[in-house]
Amino acid sequence: MNTEIPSLHQAYTGTFKIGAAVSTRTLRREGSFIAKHYNSLTAENQMKFEEIHPDLDRYDFAAADEIVDFAMQHGMALRGHTLVWHNQTPNWVFEKEDGTPASREQVLERLRSHAQTVMGRYIGKIQAWDVVNEAIEDKSEEYLRETKWLSTVGEDYLEQAFRIAHEVDPSAQLFYNDYNETNPVKRDKIYRLVRSLLDVGTPIHGIGMQGHWNLYGPSIDEIREAIELYASLGLRLHITELDISSFDFEDRRSDLKAPTDEMAQRLTHRYDEIFKLLTEYRSEIDSVTFWGAADNGTWLDGFPVRGRLNWPLPFDRELQPKPSFWKILEHGQR
Ligand code: GLA
């Protein structure tokens, strides 16, 4: 590793934490690179319900423990991801033994014991939890996403989840996390949802803006408006899953083996304007996490177009800094 390259997170000391989504695989492969540039970790998958609690009576903590231990050894923060989500959650959570839907009380009891066991294990180590992930429906006319949480527990499932999480770890910062969070229609629904939670005294402390953006959008104005609206609730903001896809969502090309010059230039420009904006809101934003540590470990390879490569992060596949890295660094040092 080139030791002359400055540390990304050190450039942001006193501004906000700089995090990465990791797995035991990436930590084993490139742990020293990750520890040099990032001071916050999120398990990309290994704390999700189906991985950590696959069966009613079985938890599997091996991977999560390894990630938590790594963070502790390196003095890093941790974000817990995630307790209540419609994806990557086993069906048994919502079912009786005969396969019919479980009762509201049963599902809440399972959530409580899951939170006690998982959150409880990492009290004092995980400072922030994504308690509920992606509860808002993308279709404009609809409000809450239809999920098994909603159909079994009812509309107050978010409130209940936050109350349970707060009971288990009163010191943890509790987040609502979502994507397309800058889209004005969805943004207003997220605002309405969090407002309604606050109105009934729900213990919620922050909004996670996932930040799965691309080279063409959202605009800086849209990001700014979302930040201002969410911050007006008096909550803390985390950017939780930042990556800048090389492709517009509609773009289904899959033949490129490397980014074009135009893509590379746009990426530099995007990261420049995005970090200029984020540092402007440093008094609201506590943490900015990239969804992956470098381009060799991005979920966008293959999503949403199978077999397609993507180059969304400030470090390339050889873990070398791209021009975007240097732009991001400059904003931290200001
Ligand atoms: C969502 C989830 C993440 C992850 C990404 C894709 O944003 O919150 O946990 O699954 O999708 O990697």
Task: Give the residue, out of 291, 300, 301, with the most ligand 1 atoms within 8 A of its beta carbon, to mutate for a pocket test.
Answer: 291
Which ligand 1 atom is the nearest neighbour of the CA of 45? Answer: 9
Between the CA of 244 and the centroid of ligand 1 the distance, in Å, is 14
- Cβ–Cβ contacts within 10 Å for residue 26, how many? 20
DSSP state of 61: -
Q: pLDDT band for 3, please (50, 70, 90 cuts).
A: low
Q: SS3 of 319, please?
A: coil
Tokens matching residue 60: 């599997």
First to last CA, the chain: 26
Angle at Cα 93 formed by Cα 203 and Cα 131, nearest 5°? 25
CA pair distance 287, 42, nearest whole angstrom: 11
Beta carbons of 254 and 222 less than 8 angstroms apart: no
pLDDT score of 1: 53
Between the CA of 269 and the centroid of ligand 1 the distance, in Å, is 25
With CA atoms as reference, report the closest residue to 178 among 146, 156, 210: 210
Beta carbons of 109 and 60 less than 8 angstroms apart: no
At 284-316, the pLDDT tens digits run 999 999 999 999 999 999 999 999 999 999 999
CA nearest ligand 1 atom 12, residue: 299
Residue 235 has pLDDT above 90, yes or no: yes
* 173 phi/psi in degrees, rounded to 5: -85, 125
Q: pLDDT band for 249, please (50, 70, 90 cuts).
A: confident
CA nearest ligand 1 atom 4, residue: 44
Task: Give the residue, out of 44, 86, 241, 313, with the most ligand 1 atoms within 8 A of its beta carbon, to mutate for a pocket test.
Answer: 241
pLDDT score of 254: 84
Which ligand 1 atom is the nearest neighbour of the CA of 81? Answer: 9
Q: Ligand 1: list residues with CB < 6 Å.
A: 81, 133, 179, 210, 241, 299
* 87 phi/psi in degrees, rounded to 5: -105, 160
What's the burial of 2, exposed, middle or buried (CB within 10 Å: 0-12/13-18/19+)? exposed
Q: Which run of H or E residues covers position 21? A: strand 17-22
Instruction: Indicate if the alpha-carbon torsion angle 117, 123, 126, 129 is positive or negative.
Output: positive
Whole-structure pTM value: 0.97
| Over residues 181-190, mean pLDDT | 98
Q: Which run of H or E residues covers position 238? A: strand 236-245
Q: Which residues on adjacent β-strands are paired with residue 22?
A: 43
Residue 108 has pLDDT above 60, yes or no: yes
CA pair distance 315, 107, nearest whole angstrom: 42
Q: pLDDT band for 2, please (50, 70, 90 cuts).
A: low
Q: SS3 of 95, please?
A: strand
Which ligand 1 atom is the nearest neighbour of the CA of 179? Answer: 7
Contacts of 292 (CB under 8 A, 6+ apart): 20, 21, 26, 44, 243, 298, 299, 312, 313
